[in-house]
Amino acid sequence: AMFKTILVPIDMAHAAEGKANIDIAAQHSAAGAKIILLNVVEEIPTWAAAELPANLIPDSLSRAKEELGAIAKATGQDLEVEVRDGRSYKTILDVAKEKNVDLIIIASHRPGLQDYFLGSTAAKVVRHATCSVLVVR
């Protein structure tokens, strides 16, 4: 099937896999489809936050926006870029609902953790998403 609104969550520590998933998104796009790249900057628990610089989250958000924007630009395609803070899996599901996403493309786990069948974020997205999910191995 071809999809109209595709969400590609990208973990900035493993951007290379994210880029590969953008190609897969293009292959599953209907004519005029929208591809949204999403990075979630993980929230810091309050017990730990006191020890950290106050501007850590805003700095991480703007750095992620810059890096994700550069990845989008390098593809030469017209992609939407979203950076949010929160819990990864929950934010991925929220953005999917909010933007009427019909396909989420996600890596099964981070590279090097092949012992795991599904990473923790991927597992929760597969379990709770109300749209189709393509798990890339």
Q: Which residue ranges make up the site for ligand ADP (CB under 6 A)?
A: 9-11, 14, 17, 38-40, 42, 88, 106-107, 109-110, 113, 116, 119-122
By beta-carbon proximity to ligand ADP, the closer residue of 14 and 65 is 14
Name the residue nearer to ligand ADP (CB basis): 32 or 106.
106
Distances (CA, A) of 107 to 32, 58, 62, 76, 91: 24, 26, 24, 22, 16
Q: Which of 13, 19, 40 is nearest to 136 (CA)?
A: 19
Residue nearer to ligand ADP on the CB measure, 32 or 84? 84
Place of tokens 């796009």: 29
Shortest distance, CB of residue 33 to ligand ADP, whole angstroms?
A: 19
Beta carbon of residue 29, minimum distance to ligand ADP (angstroms, whole number): 18
- Which token pair is 120? 């923790």
